[in-house]
Each structure stands twice: as structure tokens, then as C-alpha cells.
Amino acid sequence: MSETPPVKKKTKRIKKLEVMVAETIRETHDTTTLLLFSGNDILDYKPGHFCTIDPHQFDGLERWGRFLEYQKGKKEKPRAYSLASSPHEKYLAVTIKEERYIPGKTKYPPLLSPILVRRIPRGTRMEITGFTGPYYLPDDIESRTDHIVHICAGSGFVPNWSIIKYALHKNLNVRHTLIYGNRSWEDVIYRHALEDLRSEHPDKLKVVHALSREPDAESHGPHVHAGRVNAELINKYVEDPSAAEVFACGPALSKWDKLQAKETGEELTPRFMESVVAAIESVGVPKKRLHLESYG
């Protein structure tokens, strides 16, 4: 009698997961991390991947969501959130920055981010769908480079935080330079955890801040600069840009911005991603070494 070969348990990467909020961490005045407990589910994700959260599951958003759907003439879609956790960590985590409504500038008030940031208590159950996305740390990273440069702004640092934590935990043979743009020192997400990780791995992690609206930026440390991320700053900290693998993530012009500009004939001002991609290319990073994710 022939023996039946053992059945390999397949894990599907994209699936719905019931999770419970195990902890909420207020990172900055408008940003919160939710630690999510997923029971015994096998979590198959790569550092950099995102999940989605459907706003329809929250009772408190029912009327508001229906009103926006009526105004927009279409169903509200699930929102994407990068995983802030690394696959080696016990909890899944997402970090959400609250979108603002600016009368005359934004067409509609934001739907989901305000409640995720301010109104989700510990113990809340929710459904997420994951995990996916083209922006992740490749398995063969050590054969591609020994230097990863992370160029991020605001909540755009979330997937890179996962990548950095994972690579350092696995002791991969790569060092990291993070160039992180924010408005002020108080807006820097994971500031203390980032400093702890940097001091644990001084040879492998270098952190550079660019603060566009901080009155006395340089007083916060030797690698804290006033202004925006630009080619000069990249050149100052990245000795051989052509040999580095670059992961850039942050806000970009949205399709709504582009549509509005078309209607009004207004000229669009580039946002973070449009300006840093130009800067990164100008310092000699080949396109094939460039990984991009836009939040718009």
C-alpha cells in the first residue's frame, strides 16, 4: 500500500481576518497605532505590505458614510494601511494619521482616519483584509546591496519602519540610512522607539531628520536639519547612491488634486513624492533600485 504524502497546509495571503485591538498608542497629536491581536491565524506578510479596512463595518460611520456615498455617487472603498509591525512581532500593527478637512481645499471631510485615530478603544473587534502590495523588502536584498536608503515623510514612514525592524531583527547584512521629513519635531512618528533602535544598532542604522516648520530644528540633534528632503541632503548622507537600494514613501498628489487642477486650470504644486523622486533620480539612483509607495 502506498503512503499518502502529507498535505501541505497552504496559507492564502489575501484573506479577511477578525482582529481585536489589543492596545492603542497615541504616537503624535494626530497619529495613533493600533496593535491588533489576530488569534491563531497564520500571518503571511512581508515587511512593507499593507492591509485594508472597510469603513462600512463601523456602526458609528453608518450615516456619515451613506451621506458621503450619496454626495459622491459611489460606494466608499476600503482604505489601505501599511503594516507597522514586522512579521517577527507578536501583534499586527497599523499606524493611522488623521486626515484633515480644510474648507475650500479638500472637497469632502475624511471618512475613516478620524475614527481610527480617536475613537477605537482597546477591545474593539474589526475585520481587516490582507496582506499585499508591491512595496516590500525583497528576499534577496543582501545580494542586491549592503545599503538601504529610506526616504519618507509623515505616515509614509510606516512600511519602512516594518522593513527596518525586520532587517535588524534578522541581522541581515545591510545597513540603513533613514531620511525622514516632517513638519515639526513633535510630528515625528515612533521618535523614541526609533532612537532606541538607532542606539542598539549604531553601525547599522543612521537617522536623519528634515523638519520643514520647526523654528530651531538643529537644536534637536546633529542629524536634524531645517527644511525639506532634497538632493543636497541625500548627497550629504548617502556616499554612493548608485549602489544603494532606495525605498521612498509618502504623500503624493491624489487623483482628486489632479482632477481639480484640470477643472480650475490651477498649476499643481508637487507634493513629497513628486519632489523626492526627482531628487533621488538626480543623485544617480538607477530606476531599477528605486521602490516607491504613494499615499494620495
Burial class of residue 265, CB neighbours in 10 A (0-12, 13-18, 19+): exposed
The pattern of x and - marking residues 122 through 141 that bind ligand FAD according to CB under 6 A reads -----------x--------
> Which of 99/146 has CB closer to ligand FAD?
99
81 lines the binding site for ligand FAD (CB under 6 A): yes
Return the range that interacts with ligand FAD (CB under 6 A); candidates 111-119, 171-179, 211-219, 236-244. Answer: 111-119
Q: Are 49 and 136 in contact (CB under 8 A)?
A: yes
The residue behind cell 512600511 is 159
Alpha carbon of residue 273 to chain centroid: 13
79 lines the binding site for ligand FAD (CB under 6 A): yes
99 lines the binding site for ligand FAD (CB under 6 A): yes
Coil vs helix vs strand at 281: helix
127 bridge partner residues: 18
50 lines the binding site for ligand FAD (CB under 6 A): yes
> Which of 90/118 has CB closer to ligand FAD?
118
Return the range that interacts with ligand FAD (CB under 6 A); candidates 57-65, 73-81, 124-132, 268-276. Answer: 73-81
Q: Which residue from 32, 95, 177, 182 is in contact with ligand FAD, where contact means CB under 6 A?
A: 95
The sheet with strand 15-28 has its strands ordered as 79-82, 50-53, 125-132, 15-28, 31-37, 92-97
CB of 102 to ligand FAD, least distance (A): 8
Distance CA 132, CA 136 (A): 9
Q: By rule CB under 6 A, what count of residues binds ligand FAD?
A: 23
Return the range that interacts with ligand FAD (CB under 6 A); candidates 104-112, 118-126, 173-181, 269-277. Answer: 104-112
Q: Are 45 and 13 in contact (CB under 8 A)?
A: yes
Q: Distances in Å between the alpha carbon of 274 and those of 23, 153, 253, 291?
A: 35, 12, 8, 14
Q: Which three cell numbers stand for residue 251?
A: 504623500
Interaction residues for ligand FAD, span 169-228 (CB under 6 A): none
Q: Are 254 and 296 in contact (CB under 8 A)?
A: yes
CB of 51 to ligand FAD, least distance (A): 9
Distance CA 33, CA 284 (A): 35
Binding site for ligand FAD (CB under 6 A): 50, 72, 79-82, 95-97, 99, 106-108, 110-113, 133, 155, 158, 256, 293, 295
